[in-house]
Amino acid sequence: MQHLLSMNDLTKQEIMNLIDTAQAIESGEHILPMERTFASNIFLEPSTRTKNSFYIAEKRLGMEVLDMNGVDSSVTKGETLEDTLKTLQAIGVKLAVVRQPEVGVLQQAAHEVSSLSIINAGDGTGEHPTQSLLDLYTISKEFSSFEGLRVAIAGDIKHSRVARSNACALEKLGAHVCFVAPEAWRDESISINYISMDEACEQVDVLMLLRIQHERHIISDNQGDYLQEFGLTIERERCMKDEAVILHPAPVNRGVEIDSSLVESEKSRIFQQMSNGVLMRMAIIQTLLKGELQYEY
C-alpha cells in the first residue's frame, strides 16, 4: 500500500500484519535503516502526542524530518494542500504525515502524487487511523484475540475521528462494539448500539474513553455533571471485570471523562498507549516505504 488514509482501506490481514510488525520492532527485530530518507510532518491543527510520536518514530528509523505547521506553510498564502504535497514530492520527500481540519481532502490529494506516501494524522471529524492502530496494538498485548472481545467507546462520539476509525477496525477484527454518549453526541451513522456507562463497565473487556471536543462544538456544553452521568467514576471502575482495561487517546480531561485517580490505575493503559504509538508508527512507516528501500525486509 502507498498511503494510510482510512481504516476502511485496510483488510483484516493488513491490520494484523501491522500489529505483528510493531511487535517485531518492540522485540528489536525488523528495524530498517532509513538514512537519507526525508519525511515531512504537516500539522495544521494542534497536536502533542501524534506529532511528537511521529517525530520520535521517524528519528528512530534514521529519517530526516521536515517540520511544517500552519504558520510556516505556504497554505497560509493560499496554496492548496495538494500543491504543497506535490512540491514536497518534487524535492525528494518520501513521506508526508498530515493533520488538517477538512474531511476527505487527503483522499483527493493522494491522487495527485505518485512517489510520496501520505499518512492521515487526523482530518477534522473524519478519521485518525494511526491512533486506531496503536489502540489495536495495545489491546492485542492484553488479549489473545479480537474475536468476540467486548469493547465500549464512550464520550463525544459525534465529533470523534478516533471513534470512527476504531469502530470500523474493531468490527472488522470480530470484536463486539458498543457506545456510550449523551443523546446530542451520538452518531448513528457509526452505530445505534448505545448503552449506559453502568452497563458498559459491567460488560466490556475494553473501555475506551474519549474527551469532550469543545473546539468542534458550535455551542459550549455544560460538562458539570458529565463525570457522574457518562464518565468513569471510582464506583464504576470497581464494577469492571478484573481483566478489563481502560484506554484513552488523550489529552485527558481529568475529573470530566475519568476520575483523576484512575488515569494511573492498575486497569489503565493510557500512558502505555503513548509508548505503543511510537512502535506502531514505526511499523506503519516501514510498511509504506519498504518498496523504496534497498534492504531486504
Under 8 Å between Cβ of 229 and 184: no
* β-strand pairing of 176-180 with 245-247: unpaired
Residues facing residue 100 across a β-bridge: 123
Could you list the beta-strand ranges (E) of the chain: 38-43, 64-69, 93-100, 117-123, 150-154, 176-180, 206-209, 245-247
Residue 161, marked binder: yes
Residue 99, marked binder: yes
Peptide bond into 251 cis (omega under 30): yes
Residue 248, marked binder: no
Give the cell for residue 30: 525488523
Residue 77, marked binder: yes
Residue 176, marked binder: no
Residue 128, marked binder: yes
Nearest-angstrom CA–CA distance, 75 and 108: 16
Q: Is 255 left (phi over 0), alpha (psi -120 to 50) or beta?
A: left
- Coil/strand/helix, residue 78: coil
Give the cell for residue 283: 511499523
Nearest-angstrom CA–CA distance, 17 and 9: 14
Residue 59, marked binder: no
Under 8 Å between Cβ of 193 and 179: yes
Residue 211, marked binder: yes
CB atoms within 10 A of CB 106: 26
Residues annotated within a binding site for L-aspartate:
77, 161, 211
Which residues contribute to the annotated binding site?
Answer: 49-50, 77, 99, 128, 131, 161, 211, 250-251
Binding-site positions for carbamoyl phosphate read 49-50, 99, 128, 131, 250-251
